[in-house]
Amino acid sequence: MKDRHGAECKICQRPFTNFRWMPGKGMRYKKTEVCQTCAKMKNVCQTCLLDLEFGLPVQVRDHALQIDDDMPKQGANRDFYVQNQERELALTDGTTPGGAIAKITDAGSNELLRKLARNQPYYQRNKPHICSFFVKGECKRGEECPYRHEKPSDPDDPLSHQNMRDRYYGSNDPVADKLLNRAKAMPVLQPPEDTNITTIYAGDLGPPGTITEADLRDYFYQFGEIRSLNVLANRGCAFIAFTTRQAAERAADQLIVSVTLHFVTVDYVPGRRLKIRWGRPQSQNQESEEKKKVESVAGLPNPCPIPDVFGDEAGPSKRLRFDNIPMPPMPPPASFAPPAKLNVPNVTYDANETRSSSMSQPVDKVYYPSQDPQRLGARGDPIE
């Protein structure tokens, strides 16, 4: 629903054409809170007062981009400032922001904003407010009540006290403080203790030819002079060695964990997110590989080296030498004689006793003479 000059801007206090609509079923009516001029000066939404590009509060965006906007907040100075900004915005195509944010041309490449930005719509802000009568236990509307019949999670939560003017000017915003505290808790790429390491590792370069050595050199040269740049196209990574440690630390601090590299080639290729790590010298890599090797078991003899019988001679000479090798001597003839007599133990047993014992035992049990304890150590008569 459109209402021409139907509301007063919450910032400049001038009448403007506001809109009112229902986002969806079960939601509350929403409306524009500030005029278009004030929204364009901060590049924010007229309803939620969040940044149009990242969906973040103004305080978080200005902190990440290091913007110090000292626009007047009240009185004649504010009215004069708004009139001048409205005159400048009238000369544009209507999509260009004004104020201090207009001077920032590469806001999309800021890594902190990309991490904190919301990638999907947040529909929770469209829900109705909590019914104050329901909290007191006095609401008599029931299901016809347009407000939510829920209890507040924490009445002392600082997020329950928000102000539109503070959100617009980027000061004392509890939502922004929560996001900035979350950003401080993010992992940081710690530099190695060895100050001689000045190499940065860049991974996820994509297929060979997607990002060339010239693209990497042009991008990383902004942090300092490059001593060498080695691109491993088959593995999709590169090693950038700077001349000074300060340049490498500057690159690691600004790139942190990932970076979007934009470049222009003959065919358009979109930006890629690269993984940034500190590189290690080759000696450390060899030491780490040696540590990964399995240690030998204690007590086992060392393996014998392979004997080099023929040396480094060519094939024909080896064959000639192999033919001249003397054959090993034949073993001596057998010098022992076979035994003249064979000792067989003579065991006497009673047939009746054996028959009776076999009948008393189960049928499936087999009797072996070797189980007789009397045969142990018995010595029979020699048989000729």
Tell me what pLDDT residue 262 has.
Answer: 47
Evaluate if pTM is beyond 0.75.
no
pLDDT score of 263: 42
The number of residues making up the chain comes to 384
CB 175 within 8 A of CB 163: no
The pLDDT assigned to 343 comes to 62
Ordered by start, the domain boundaries in the chain are 1-186, 199-278
Contact (CB, 8 A) for 131 and 31: no
Buried b / exposed e across 60-86, counting CB within 10 Å, b at 16+? bbbbbbebeeebeeeeeeeeebbeebb
AA identity, residue 170:
G
CATH topology of domain 199-278: Alpha-Beta Plaits (3.30.70)
- Per-residue pLDDT tens for 128-139? 999 999 999 999
What is the distance between the alpha carbons of residues 200 and 278, in angstroms, rounded to a whole number?
Answer: 5
Half-sphere exposure of 34 (CA within 13 A, CB side): 24
- Flag residues of the chain having pLDDT under 70: 109, 155, 187-188, 256-272, 281-300, 306-325, 331-367, 373, 375-384
In angstroms, the CA 34 to CA 47 distance is 7
**Helix, strand, coil shares of the chain as percentages rounded to 5?**
35, 15, 50
* pLDDT at res. 267: 35
Supply the pLDDT for residue 359: 55
pLDDT, tens digit, 9 for 90 and up, residues 6-25: 899 999 999 999 999 999 88
Per-residue confidence (pLDDT) for residue 323, from 0 to 100: 61
pLDDT of 151: 87
Question: pLDDT tens, 163-201?
Answer: 899 999 998 899 999 988 888 877 667 788 888 899 998
